[in-house]
Chains A and B, each alone.
Chain A
Amino acid sequence: MVVQTESFVMLSIVLFVLGAMGVLLRRNAIMVFMSIELMLNAANLALVAFARYWGNETGQLFVFFVITVAAAEVAVGLALIVAIFRSKRSINIDELHEMKG
């Protein structure tokens, strides 16, 4: 059985929406961060599916860049989370309210 491109794209849209909901609903910074990774990987899935559909490599190329950049983001993001945890002893994003106006 050949899986249709539509199925992949539908799955990637579902994953993307799940990730976006996670970002909006989760309060733990690490969970928010993981939800963002889910969104990026949903985009990767769509890219690979489209690359198969079009029969060119541009989509796969894009995925390589996304994976690399996501790794760089992880490095910076986790460092920031550790720094916040050191000073606040919490990574709940609702408690980030030093500034108001």
Chain B
Amino acid sequence: MAEPTSAPTCPRCGATATAAVAGDLCPACLLKQVALGTGTDGLPNEPWTPPTLGDLATAFPQLEIIELIGRGGMGAVYKARQKSLGRLVALKILPPRHAANPSFAERFSREAQALAELNHPNIVTVYDFGRAGEFYFLMMEHIDGVNLRQAMMAGRFTPRQALAIVPPICEALQFAHDRGIVHRDIKPENLLLDKAGRVKIADFGIARIMGADLDPASGVAASDAPGLTQDSVLGTPRYMAPEQSAHTAQADHRADIYSLGVVLYELLTGELPVGKFEPPSRKVHIDVRLDGIVLRALESTPELRYQTIGEMRTQVMTVFNKLGPTCYISTPEQLATFDGQMFLWHRKAQMLLDDRYLSFARAATTTVIPLAAIRDLSIGHYPRVMHPLGLDFVSVTYEEGSQTKRLLFTPRVEGWFVPLSDFNRFVAEQFNALRAAIATATGRAPGNTPANQLGTPSSSRAVLLALLFLLIVGILLVGMSLRQQKVPVPQTASPPNVIDEPAKIVPPPPKIPEKPPDSGINK
């Protein structure tokens, strides 16, 4: 038996370290770990016992309660059948923790009403809510499938699979954020995958209903768990944004962006980004561009994160699939300036077109245009000074807020030299693809303005002057070089500008020696 010694104390808990018992481990910390239970391993410690099927059958005569399918800190979920409609539903029973609090009922109905309005294909639909007997409940769409945690346990996601589920989550979150609803508890357990592989977000706003974000002034204790288990109960700290765990009342939609960043990190690496963590590409073989996305979502200062989840979505899409070509983008205002005309080629962006959005992702900013917001789509010509023969661009006129904005883009064509006709044909292809996508998304074709009515800015005077200057310099240089040649000019010689260029001798392409057909190795 080990004797207590006047050994140094444990840095973690301050207890006297007793080396001989558990090697270098502090026995007090070990016992605490036992007391904290599974809560410290990411599973909430739930002192509440969910009601039995019998209890529920009495309270919900209109339902046939089939089984308990899940439980957690925010309640228990039962699979049930609605007798009248014959459809399966998920019945969520909230723990009666706060039921006695008079403000709970009011908050519950307010939040639940907002949730019921969240009608999105990637959000679990709320059919009904209320109180039945002693139970506060939410009746929801039943998803036949697994949650992301279960899916991750079953097998590691490939980076591609991981990325594929992120955009729909972003869309659903953007949809909710636009309506002022923040999820506040995004974690793998709340992301459901149905049999068709569709992802659906569950438990929207439940955290808020359960008062996890109540300010201390309202006097509602966050937890009624006894003694030592207290700090492991609330929320899901590992997925929580720093500002959320510190001042819950201040957390806004950017807290969801952080949580999704944690989920994405975990999907990619199988680990949680705790403490000083490494970028995902150091751990797994993935596109390094993902590091930037994940790390930006995980910025501890909300201002440094993506400001909208739509922006994050676009960035993920850029890595996920290179649908669109690289484009040069500008606006009519930019194109009217010297800078805009001379340095158009500096403003490169990755174009992405999917069934809902047209996006241009640049290093610093991302422009996301919902297809439904596009009012006009036309082809125009760049000012002659930029290309004397007339280079085409696609003009997108769209509404953002109450403003009408216009964006011009030209796809980049790979290759050193592309004939103008090919180039403009490529522009036309992009134009048609975009037009078709808008028609599919909105059911109507956008307006089209002929190029001559587009009001393209004329060539900038500064550019013309610059070109004139270049022309003069060029002539001077040519003249000087001719004088330096000092070649005796025969009387009969024609002026240099009419000398026929000697025909270029094009070497025949090197012939690849054909292999004799029987040279292959027999297998």
Partners in one complex: no
